[in-house]
Amino acid sequence: MKTIVCKTYEEMSTRAAEIVADVMKANPSCVLGLATGSTPVGMYKKLIDMNRAGEIDFSAVTTVNLDEYYPISPENDQSYRYFMNDNLFNHVNIDKTKTFVPDGTAADPHEACAAYEALVKRVGPADIQVLGIGQNGHIGFNEPDSALEVETHVTGLTESTIKANARFFASIEDVPTQALTMGIGTILSAKKIIILANGAAKAEAVKKMLAGKLDTSCPASMLNLHSDVTVICDEVAMD
Ligand code: GLP
């Protein structure tokens, strides 16, 4: 895996945005695989600025997001659909009908996952997939386990993830305990992957990811199977 170690979060966000922008310039009707969480927010801000400056055009772009809580409504300000609208889609010239997030309201979540997997195959593969990393090494909501899922699936969230994500909710009881997420195979189907990590809380997960082993206790280590992955992190996360 290629690594870019940056001095600041600002620099990380710029480097990540430049890589995404290059993909968009090379192919204006590209498919972007997008992620939520606090880490990519700075990158989205840069992409919005570039779009406003006329440097990049979202009008023909399709997006597929990694994951969504379950159950959750898109109007809930903690849903990943709401996050994407709020942090990117509402501020750029994208056609929202071409933006996809797993359906947190589906009556049958397993059916919704199968439909999402088919959709990613139909519109994809993503030209670039943006990832964050959980403190426990999760990517999307692929949590550490003895075996990892290949395709989009329903998953329970680990206690550590529920705790880590509670900061965004009114109380820990409000954090959904389940999610719909792309599987490891879905993520690896992207042509290019960038994974962003900043802060000391991510250092252990980053170390395990880069240890050169396929370790299901660190789902991000599966990225070693891909030939075009760039890790963009700050010095603390790379410690
Ligand atoms: C969440 C998301 C991940 C994200 C991770 C890290 O649970 N499902 O896609 O990468 O946690 O979040 P943050 O960037 O806020 O640390």
- Alpha-carbon distances of 215 from 88, 205, 207, 218, rounded to whole Å: 33, 11, 12, 5
Q: What is the mean pLDDT of each run of 10 residues along the chain (239 residues)?
A: 97 98 98 97 98 98 98 95 98 98 97 98 97 96 96 94 91 95 98 98 98 97 98 95
DSSP 141: T
Cα 189 to middle of ligand 1, angstroms: 20
Q: Which is the closest atom of ligand 1 to the Cα of 131?
A: 10
d(CA 109, CA 213): 32
Identify the active-site residue in 117, 138, 142, 198. 138
Query: Quick one: tokens of 118?
Result: 């088919």
Query: Is 10 noted as a catalytic residue in this protein?
Result: no
Long-range contacts (CB closer than 8 Å, 24 or more residues apart) made by 221-227: 221/137, 222/139, 222/148, 222/184, 222/187, 222/188, 223/1, 223/131, 223/139, 223/187, 223/188, 223/193, 223/195, 224/1, 225/188, 226/188, 226/190, 226/193
| pLDDT number for residue 239 | 83
Cα 103 to middle of ligand 1, angstroms: 18
Query: Is 136 noted as a catalytic residue in this protein?
Result: yes
Q: Which is the closest atom of ligand 1 to the Cα of 35?
A: 9
